[in-house]
Amino acid sequence: MKLQAELFVDSRCELGEGPFWHPLLGRLFWFDILNKTLLSANADGHIVDRITFKDTVSAAGVIDEHTLAVTQSGMLMRYDFRDDSHTPMLAVEADVPGNRTNDSRVDRAGGFWIGTMGRRAEMGVGAVWHYRHGVLNKIISGIRIPNSICFSPDGRTAYFTDSGKMIVKCTLDPETGMPIGEWEDFFTMEGPGGADGSVVDSEGFVWNARWGAGKAIRISPDGKLDKTVTVPGGVTRVSCPAFGGKGMKTLFLTTAREGFTPQEEIDQPTAGGVFAIELDVPGLPEPFFKP
């Protein structure tokens, strides 16, 4: 079954990523990584926030109504809306200036999985870190591009991909969010494009953005293709999905225009925008971060 999203915000991000719905503010937030910017829009698609950081930023976890934990290169940063303050919370690869953060997400236990990678996507220099209740652990190492970090509704399964080759899964301790099993194959990419960001809906199906293929796909818990949502306007670089809106039934998709040729700029004028589609099966609210 194929469905098509519609343009939600024509934001023209260089590298749109890390979307999440803030349940206490009723807004969608997302990042333009390369332009060091966090944006937000209300349910009508009107931009509310455009916040600039000192270095690249890629993802965030909600702490409360006023504050976010933002993954900025070299650290986890506390951002406060009330006074526009940026306060370092934790160093994450601060001694590796050639790295930046990438795909990251809060697990069901309130821990933050923070993905890192080389700024030029060098092989083997990235990692995934887990931070919860003041404890930081490296849980994956030697990777190129961390993506598809997401979690089953019961918090017992994590999903992940390195460079979009294949989505893998791992058993978690639902009380801590830490891996307790080995990573195993979940879904193999076929056709054009690779696996980018992912999110899980309320039925436990994984929605994955297909970078280079202009679509997002829904994958069943047993690893079978279920549905496809295409992005209009010839936009190919779909980067990450998020659920939000009324009843958590809107699927939002960030996109990118990083490295476009002049012809690609002409052929994909809305690339870098956020797209949206209403679905029958809702998503789940993102867990609050427990630092």
- How much is the pLDDT for 2? 72
Residue where the block lists tokens 């900025």:
72
Per-residue pLDDT of 154-198, as tens digits, reads 999 999 999 888 999 999 999 999 999 999 999 999 889 999 999
- How much is the pLDDT for 268? 97
In the chain, the amino acid numbered 105 is R
Task: Check whether 13 has a pLDDT greater than 80.
Answer: yes
- How much is the pLDDT for 291? 87
CATH code of 99's domain: 2.120.10.30
More confident residue, 149 or 189: 149
Q: How confident is the model at residue 1 (pLDDT cuts 50, 70, 90)?
A: low
For the question of residue 267 being annotated catalytic, the response is: no
Is residue 289 assigned to a domain? no
Can you tell me the distance from the alpha carbon of 291 to that of 288, in angstroms, rounded to the nearest whole number? 10
Our CA dihedral for 127, 132, 136, 141, rounded to 10 degrees, sits at -20
Local structure of residue 248 (DSSP, 8 states): G
- 159: Cα separation from own chain's centroid: 12
Tally of domains within the chain:
1
Is residue 85 assigned to a domain? yes
Our CA dihedral for 275, 199, 82, 255, rounded to 10 degrees, sits at -30
Can you tell me the distance from the alpha carbon of 215 to that of 131, in angstroms, rounded to the nearest whole number? 31
Is residue 60 assigned to a domain? yes
Is residue 290 assigned to a domain? no
Is residue 164 assigned to a domain? yes
Per-residue pLDDT of 56-105, as tens digits, reads 999 999 999 999 999 999 999 999 999 999 999 999 999 999 999 999 99
| Residue 105 bridge partners (DSSP) | 113
- How much is the pLDDT for 62? 98
pTM (2 d.p.): 0.97
What range defines the domain where residue 119 resides? 2-278
Is residue 284 assigned to a domain? no
Is residue 62 assigned to a domain? yes
Is residue 287 assigned to a domain? no
Q: Which of 103, 162, 196, 201 is catalytic?
A: 196
Q: Are strands 225-230 and 2-4 parallel, antiparallel or unpaired?
A: parallel
